[in-house]
Structure 1
């Protein structure tokens, strides 16, 4: 078992940084980080836990994030979907579980309706309703650009692209099992969105509410998330 870092070409002479936690098994989990996040921290722990349970695990930075090329201003949901596909193609993964957290959950949902290599989805507090970003949209409509405390910025291009990816398309086409883990105290992506998504989706869905957990899970919450992820995946085997 080993960890190797890769530069994966995507588009416009840009590349994304990915880490492969490698084992000899044939099961894979690919992790998609959230909006103002990257592949470090909790993703490293999740990958190592998945590796301990027999999975090849891959974590990577979307363009404009972490160690990948590009600027945050130019990233969109479409570019993130392209980055994910490039990573999966690079490792020649025949089938995999896609894990997405927050906005990475939205990436995972929309990837799953276009990529039949995805066998199951695991999401943590996923963005399913575009209205989650309404405050950001209002700022962009007013000022032309929104700059976050991190220095990252978005403009109208992000929202033009977002509108082309409504959750209704996922509801219509998704047929694989889904697990949703959501903190009851999340004040960024309300748990009511995951409840509504569970109601609308017509495939098998596990929704588990974590009492006392906000948008960022505590260490105890993270440990429980990792255990529940593997426990649920074991039921699909």
Structure 2
């Protein structure tokens, strides 16, 4: 998504409920969709805001997202969770989703809450969106400063790197004839749907094409028994982050979800370390 498209995102209406659930309309005309979010303000009034960026077909009430929120509450930090369009409590059709569309929504919600500094916590596809979001914020030269990246089983460029090379002849025909193909999901009774628009847009949003300058610490958690995003993909990502403070933690028996109690403890340690690092330099 280029800067002009991001600036064209129109925030038409924002409503909040007593349970902290807010709704923000992003886009205009036929592209308008209502994005659900929950914002926990900082009890201390200082420090970065943790921003959750979920994975493909996940939502803001998943185990890891709630763990991030609990940690923020314990430390008096601000936290922001939201659902992409077509996910969870947000409006819009899932089949309309692309990386550009979900990135636009991510930036719009952050712009609306306007934190000064943020720590992006991206899970799976959310790791890709986190990297693209950082690039967009740096390119436009305004908005919050990214103080750290926590990437959990990150899947940057997964459409190009993981899906397209493994397409069967039947899936290719389905893409050509119907504009999408279906895949059995390990996590839901409903199949995963991958559209031609998602794959084509993924090519335009690739990040594994050159040096990624984040300007902040990056910590990656990756399971070595991840069947969705092989740990070699995380190793490849590290190759594109040579100039930054990067830590890669490989969990030998970890799967893609990394939602076991011991996995959540590792995530908590990562988030605390990133926040403490920010306190030292700010």
TM-score by length of 2: 0.77
2:25 pairs with 1:4: no
2:170 pairs with 1:142: no
The residue that corresponds to 2:15 in the other structure is none
2:50 pairs with 1:20: no
2:62 pairs with 1:41: yes
2:95 pairs with 1:53: no
In 2, distance between residues paired with 1:106 and 1:7? 24
TM-score by length of 1: 0.91
Q: What does residue range 143-222 of structure 1 map to in structure 2 within 5 Å?
A: 143-144=174-175, 145-148=180-183, 149=185, 150-151=190-191, 153-168=193-208, 171-201=211-241, 202-217=243-258, 218-222=260-264
- Greater Cα radius of gyration, structure 1 or 2: 2
Deviations 1:36-61 (A, max 9, x none): 21111211222111221232001110
Please state whether the residue corresponding to 1:227 is helix, strand or coil: helix
| Structure 2, gaps ≥5 residues long | 1-17, 139-143
Deviation for aligned residue 1:170: 6.4
Deviations 1:125-181 (A, max 9, x none): 101343122267556522121234425533110011000111235624433221111
Equivalent in 3, 12, 32 of residue 53 of structure 2: 32
The residue that corresponds to 2:137 in the other structure is 115
Q: Does the CA contact (< 8 Å) of 1:21 and 1:48 recur in 2?
A: no
Deviation for aligned residue 1:192: 1.1
Please state whether the residue corresponding to 2:155 is helix, strand or coil: coil
Q: CA RMSD in A?
A: 2.1
| Structure 1, gaps ≥5 residues long | none
In 2, distance between residues paired with 1:62 and 1:135? 26
- Structure 1 runs (4+) deviating above 3 angstroms are 135-140
In 2, distance between residues paired with 1:203 and 1:73? 36
